[in-house]
């Protein structure tokens, strides 16, 4: 995903940038099927990211069944931190963009954390990260994704078509029934998932919602003979496709923005872009760390063994790395290409700042731990 992002940025800032734009905007619209004005960028955000969110649904189901969200008291800390980490950036964005009219449509852009980038930064800068801290970040990101999907479904759906929606819901329900009855063949599920995606897309609701729903309905029931569960099989097949193809292609088709001096100046003169940067860098840090502190202070949760406030501060800074979902919401909120380009640039700048800030915190923590080991 990082390579795809860099490739898009480089290409978009060369004399051949028009070729990149033509590829991104190339329409592939089967009008007879009712899929109008679907260029490659839209196929990436609606189609490829449905696979990404299917994996997110699997992760949420796993957390609810066997992970941190199974124990309600243990789940309170990351859940409250995630909720505050969504609310505070949104409020900051709304305060900065107040009075800009349509500019306020993007209040949800700075609310999302990109788990792939966040885990990559964590792995590089804090390789001996304690297990509880990584579990906290994973749970935080899963809950964050769930909230983002609810926001997309509720606030970024227009022109709802009831008949296709009912058909999509019915197919998702059939998928859930087959899973509950132990059907294992993918030949039953792949056609159901594709047709359900089509009807949800036709309904006006973003098709990534369908991906999360199918992921959460995929069975984690153990088999008597010890074979992998349906969720494990789906994860094994689809995670490499999501990480190696779907998300990088989305990144490549979304991140190609001009980084000239005038373009960057335009970003820092645009209150929407400033709201995105401040929301991700400051809002996420304050929201996640403040939410965790409030949960402990109010007695709703305990910090737990293996968690320390300084390390949580690093995770809170890391939560400001918003990429995949932030760009997705940015595209839904701002169909105007010029405004979306400024928002995309703002997301990239904020993610870079958040990564550097988190790296500084984690490297400092690594040195502290090393000194403690030597002293001991």
The pTM is what? 0.85
DSSP labels for 298-342?
TTS----TT--HHHHHHHHHHTT---HHHHHHHHHH--SHHHHHH
Q: Is the CB of residue 316 less than 8 Å from the CB of residue 246?
A: no
State residue 99's pLDDT score: 85
Q: Look at residue 201 in the predicted model and tell me its pLDDT.
A: 87
Which domains, from first to last, does the chain contain?
2-26+72-154+248-367 (1.20.1530.10)
Q: Average pLDDT for consecutive 10-residue bins of the chain (376 residues)?
A: 90 92 86 76 88 88 77 82 95 92 86 82 79 82 84 82 91 94 90 93 85 91 83 93 91 86 87 95 96 92 80 92 88 88 93 92 79 65
* Residue-level pLDDT at 373: 62
Distance CA(155)–CA(334), nearest Å, equals 13
The predicted-structure confidence for 232-257, as pLDDT tens digits, reads as follows 999 999 999 998 999 999 989 988 88
Both structure tokens of 24? 């991104």
CA quadruple 369, 374, 375, 376: dihedral, nearest 10: 90
**pLDDT value at position 217?**
93
Name the one residue in this structure whose structure tokens are 């502190």. 293
The two three-digit tokens of residue 38, written as one number: 């679907």
Q: In the numeric block, which tokens belong to residue 173?
A: 């329900």
In the prediction, which pLDDT does 149 show?
84
Please answer whether residues 362 and 128 qualify as being in contact, where contact means their C-beta atoms are separated by less than 8 angstroms.
no
- pLDDT for 337: 85
Distance CA 23, CA 19 (A): 6
Question: Cα torsion for 59, 65, 66, 70, to the nearest 10°?
Answer: 110
Q: Indicate left, alpha or beta for 206 from its phi (over 0: left) and psi (-120 to 50: alpha).
A: beta
Residue 374 has a pLDDT of 65
> In the structure encoding, which two tokens stand for residue 325, read together?
């979902």
């Amino acid at each position: 995903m990082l390579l795809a992002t860099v490739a898009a940025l480089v290409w978009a800032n060369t004399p051949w940038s028009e070729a990149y734009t033509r590829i991104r905007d190339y329409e592939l619209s089967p009008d007879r099927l009712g899929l109008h004005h679907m260029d490659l960028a839209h196929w990436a955000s609606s189609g490829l990211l449905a696979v990404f969110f299917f994996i997110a649904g699997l992760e949420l189901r796993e957390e609810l069944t066997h992970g941190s969200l199974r124990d309600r008291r243990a789940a309170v800390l990351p859940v409250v931190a995630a909720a505050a980490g969504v609310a505070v950036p949104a409020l900051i964005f709304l305060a900065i963009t107040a009075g800009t009219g349509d500019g306020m449509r993007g209040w949800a852009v700075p609310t999302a954390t990109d788990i792939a980038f966040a885990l990559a930064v964590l792995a590089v800068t804090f390789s001996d990260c304690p297990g509880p801290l990584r579990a906290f970040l994973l749970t935080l990101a899963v809950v964050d994704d769930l909230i983002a999907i609810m926001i997309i479904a509720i606030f970024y759906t227009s022109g709802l078509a009831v008949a296709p929606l009912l058909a999509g819901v019915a197919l998702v329900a059939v998928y859930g029934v087959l899973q509950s009855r132990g059907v294992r063949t993918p030949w039953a599920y792949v056609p159901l998932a594709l047709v359900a995606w089509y009807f949800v897309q036709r309904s006006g609701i973003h098709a990534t919602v369908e991906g999360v729903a199918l992921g959460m309905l995929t069975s984690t029931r153990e088999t008597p003979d010890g074979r992998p569960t349906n969720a494990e099989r789906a994860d094994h097949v689809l995670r490499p496709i999501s990480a190696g193809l779907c998300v990088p292609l989305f990144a490549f088709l979304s991140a190609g923005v001009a980084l000239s001096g005038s373009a960057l100046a335009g970003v820092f003169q645009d209150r929407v872009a400033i709201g995105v940067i401040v929301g991700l860098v400051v809002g996420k840090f304050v929201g996640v760390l403040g939410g965790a502190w409030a949960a402990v202070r109010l007695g709703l949760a305990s910090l737990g063994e293996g968690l320390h406030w300084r390390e949580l501060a690093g995770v809170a800074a890391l939560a400001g790395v918003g990429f995949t979902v932030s760009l997705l919401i940015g595209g839904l909120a701002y169909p105007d290409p010029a405004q979306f380009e400024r928002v995309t640039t703002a997301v990239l700048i904020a993610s870079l700042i958040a990564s550097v800030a988190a790296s500084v915190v984690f490297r400092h923590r690594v040195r502290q731990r090393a000194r403690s080991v030597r002293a001991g």
